[in-house]
Structure 1
Amino acid sequence: MENSVLNRRNFIKSSMAIAIVGALPQLILAKQSSTEFDYELIIAPADVNIVPGGSTPALSFNGGYPSPVIRAKQHQPVRIRVINQLKEPTTIHWHGLRIPIDMDGVPFLSQMPIMPGDTFDYEFTPPDAGTFWYHPHMNSIEQLGKGLVGALIVEEAEKPDFDADLVLCMKNWHIKDDGSFTALTSPQNAFRMGTPGRIMTINGEMHPTYDVPAGGAIRIRFLNVDNTLVYDVNSTDPDAQIIAIDGNPIEQPITLENHLMAPGMRLDLGVMSSKEVGKSITFKHKNKPLVTLRSVASTATFHSLPALPLNPIPEPDLNNAETIKFAFEWNANITPIHKDGKVNYNFWTMNRRSWEGMSKGNIPAPLAQLERGKTYLFELSNLTQYHHPIHIHGHTFTVLKSNKKAITPFHSDTVLLGKNETVIAALVADNPGRWMYHCHIIEHLKTGFMGYVEVS
C-alpha cells in the first residue's frame, strides 16, 4: 500500500503543477494518510455559499462544496475511509467503476448502512481509467440534492500529455436567492421529468471562467451530478472533440455539436486553446452559458490532442448472446396509502414491477439472473414520454443500436433513453454479485424505477 500512496502523491503533484498555470477550478483533494488509508471523507452538515450573500445549509464531504476530487490510478489499489457524521445512515457508491460487489455501496444489497458515528473503509483497484464519481445510495433525493456528490478521477496507467485537465461538476441547486432550500421533489414532478433546481452551477459557481494555457491541449471532464436535469452540451469552439463518454475513451474522437448528458453521465472533451491570449471558449446548456475557458500566457507548446488509451472492457460474444427485454413504463395504478396515512408513491415500473424497497433480511427477487461469463443483449424500451438514464452497477454496457438514431458502438454505464426509444446494449456478466439497475433521475429511482440483476 505504501508504494501506491507514493505513486499517487507523484501524480497529484503533477496535477497541482498543471493547476498553477492560470486559475483552474478550485477543487480540493481529500485528506490523505500514508498508513491505514489513502483518502478520508467526512460526511457532515455544512453551510456553503452558492448564491451571492446567501448561505445554504448543505450536506458535505469534508466541510464544503465542491466536494473533494479523489484521484486514483488504473490498476493500483486505493483505500478510502468514510466517516458518517450525519444523523442518519448513508453509504458511498462509486459510480461507473467495475469493482467487487462488497465495495459497491448499496445498502443491504452489497453492504450494511454506515450508521451515524460509524466508519467504513472502501478498498478497490480500478480496472478502467476515466471520469467517474461518488455519491450516497440512501435517502438519495436529500443526500445528493443537498451536496453529497463528488468526482473520482482514475488516471491512466500511462498518462496522456494534456497541458490542463479540468474537472467540472454540473449541478442545479434547489435553493432560493437567500440560499435556503426549495422543495427537492414533488409528486407532480416525480411522475414526469423530475423536479428541476433553480441555480445552475459548475463546481458550485454560476458560469465561472477558468484560465487555461494559450496554445495548450486541454482535457475537460464534465460530470452531471444533478438529481434531475438533462444537459444539452454545446460549445462556441467548432473544433471541440468528444474523446470519452461515461468514463470510457472512444476509438475515434467526434466533433462536438451537441451532446445530451442525463444525471449520472460524464463527457470528456478535448480542445486546443487559442494561441492568442485573452481568447475564450464557452460551453453551454442549450443557449445558457455553463463555463468559459480563457487563454492566458504560458509556455505550452502547440501540439495536437493526445489519444486516450482504451479501457479493457470485455468483448461481448454477440453470436451466443441471450436477449433480455426490459420495458420501462409509467405505473398508472392507484397510489397506495399506509396505515399511518403516508402515501407510498410508486410511479414507475421495470417489466411492470415497481421497486419494493429492501431492508436487512428482506431482499426482493432480482429482475434477471445472469450466468457469469455469458453475454446478454439488454433490449431497453422506454415506453414513456420522458428521458430515462438507465444505470447498471458493476458492469459496462456496449451500446449497439437504437430505433431512433444511428449509433457507433460505444461503452457506457448509463444509457440515456429518449421518448419511445429502444436501445440494444450488450453486457458481459463477468462480475459476480447482486447489482443495482435503475433510472438515474433520482425521483424516478425513489418512486419505483429501480431493481437489480444477479450474476452468479
Structure 2
Amino acid sequence: MLGMSRREFLLGSAGTLSAFAGGSLIANQANAADLTLPIKTLSHSLLPDTVTDNMMGFGTDGPPPVLRLKQGEAFTIDVVNELDDASIVHWHGLRIDNRMDGVPYLTQQPIEPGEQFRYTLKAPDAGTFWYHPHCNTLEQMARGLTGVMVVEEAEDPGFDQDLPLNIRDFRLAGDGQFTSFFKPRNAARGGTLGTVSTVNWQSEPIYDMPAGSLTRLRLAVTDLTRVGTYDLSKAEAVVIALDSNPLSNPIAPEGIVLSPGQRADIALRVPETEGEIVTLTRRSAKGPKVIAHFRAIGTSSGRSLSELRPLAPNPVPEADLANAEVLDFVFGWSPEGT
C-alpha cells in the first residue's frame, strides 16, 4: 500500500508543506494494486484569472502526482483510461520488464477508453524519472499528461526535503485556452515552442523552505520541444545526478543543458537568512527566464552539504571493451543494388 511515508510531499507556492491527498489514487481493496491512476480530462488554472479547459491529467484535478517507488521493490499501478481516446503509460528511463514498458503494439495493446491495465514496476535503479503516454503523444502530452516519478535510494542520503520540479511549456492563447500544438514551419526548424512556461503547472512559483536546510531539487524537463540551459546562480548547491545517474564528482549548478526527457538532481543548501531567495533560471535571447524561486523562512537549521551521504552508483554493468566482439557492417547503396 502507498502510505503517508511513500507519498510525495509537495511544497506549495504559498510556502506550506502538505501531503498529496488524492484519495482516489490509493487502493484499499484486497488484491488491489498499490496505486490506481486514472487518466482523465480536467480544467485547471495555468494563467492568473483564467481556467484552461480540455486539459488531460493523471488522477487528480491538478498536476499529475509524483509517484514514489523504492529501489528494487515491486510496485503495482492500475492505469484506468477515462479519456475518449486510447492511451498508455511509458515509464521514461526505468529499466523494467519489457512487457511493462508502455509502448503500444510493441510491448502491449493500447488501453482503450473505459479499460485499464496493471503495470508491475520493479526498478533496479534509483533516481528521478518521469511518465507519459505513447498514444496520440503530441496532443495528450501537450494537454498535460506528463508526471514525475521518483525511485528512492535504499539508503536515505539525508535531505530535509525533496522537491520534484515538473518543468514544461503549454501552448496557450491570451484567454488561457489551448492554441495549435505545432506549426509546420516550426516543426521543420527545431520544433514549436510553448507560450507559457510552468513548474508543477505554476508560472514562476515560490517555494518556502526552512533556512539553512538541505533540499533535493529534482529537475525533470517533460516538455515536447524546448531545449534549455538552466542556472541556479549564487547558490550553495551542486548537481549530484544527471538522468538518474549519480555523479562521482558533483558539478556546479550552472549551464545545465536539458532537453525534453532529461533530468538533473541538485543538492541545495537553503540560504541562511530568512527571506533570502535563490532563483532557478533558463537562458534565453532576452536574458534569464525565471523558472522558480526558493525562499528561506524561519531560523537557520545550520545544515551543511558535507552532511549528505554520496549517492550510490546504480547497478549498471560497465562494458568490457577489451573483450568486446567485433561485428563488421557495410553500409551502402547503388541503383544496381550493390
Normalised by the size of structure 2, how large is the TM-score?
0.88
Contact residue 224 and residue 263 of structure 1 kept, 8 A: yes
How far apart in 2 are the matches of 1:28 and 1:161? 25
How do 1:32-431 residues align onto structure 2 when only pairs under 5 Å count? 32-34=26-28, 35=30, 36-56=32-52, 57-286=54-283, 287-297=288-298, 300-305=301-306, 306=308, 307-321=310-324
Pairwise CA distance, 1:28:
5.8
Q: Secondary structure at the match of 1:283?
A: strand
Give the aligned partner of residue 336 of structure 2. Answer: none
- Corresponding letter in the other structure for 1:52: P
Quickly say closer, same or farther: Cα 1:303–1:18, change in 2 above 3 A.
farther
How far apart in 1 are the matches of 2:158 and 2:319? 31
How far apart in 2 are the matches of 1:63 and 1:216? 30
Paired-residue identity, %? 37
- Corresponding letter in the other structure for 2:26: Q
How far apart in 2 are the matches of 1:17 and 1:84? 25
- Corresponding letter in the other structure for 2:27: S
Pairwise CA distance, 1:10:
5.8
Contact residue 274 and residue 298 of structure 2 kept, 8 A: yes
* Unaligned ranges ≥5, structure 1: 327-350, 353-456
Contact residue 217 and residue 265 of structure 2 kept, 8 A: yes
Contact residue 18 and residue 163 of structure 1 kept, 8 A: no
How far apart in 2 are the matches of 1:196 and 1:55? 21
- Corresponding letter in the other structure for 2:25: K
Provide the aligned C-alpha RMSD in A. 2.5
- Corresponding letter in the other structure for 1:53: D
Pairwise CA distance, 1:191:
1.8
Quickly say closer, same or farther: Cα 1:164–1:63, change in 2 above 3 A.
closer
Pairwise CA distance, 1:16:
4.1
Give the aligned partner of residue 16 of structure 2. Answer: 23
Contact residue 273 and residue 300 of structure 2 kept, 8 A: no
Q: Secondary structure at the match of 1:314?
A: coil
Write out per-residue CA displacement over residues 314-353 of structure 1, whole angstroms, 9 at most, x where no aligned residue. Answer: 1111223367999xxxxxxxxxxxxxxxxxxxxxxxx99x
Pairwise CA distance, 1:300:
3.1
Quickly say closer, same or farther: Cα 1:323–1:181, change in 2 above 3 A.
farther
More displaced stretch, 89-98 vs 62-71: 62-71
Give the aligned partner of residue 335 of structure 2. Answer: none
Q: Secondary structure at the match of 1:269?
A: strand
Aligned residues: 320
Q: Secondary structure at the match of 2:185?
A: helix
How far apart in 1 are the matches of 2:87 and 2:191? 23
Quickly say closer, same or farther: Cα 1:147–1:254, change in 2 above 3 A.
same
Give the aligned partner of residue 11 of structure 1. Answer: 5
- Corresponding letter in the other structure for 1:208: P
Write out per-residue CA displacement over residues 84-121 of structure 1, whole angstroms, 9 at most, x where no aligned residue. Answer: 01111111000000001100000000001101100100
How far apart in 2 are the matches of 1:23 and 1:167? 15
Runs of 4+ in 1 over 2 A off after TM superposition: 8-13, 15-19, 21-30, 236-240, 298-301, 320-326
Contact residue 69 and residue 150 of structure 2 kept, 8 A: yes
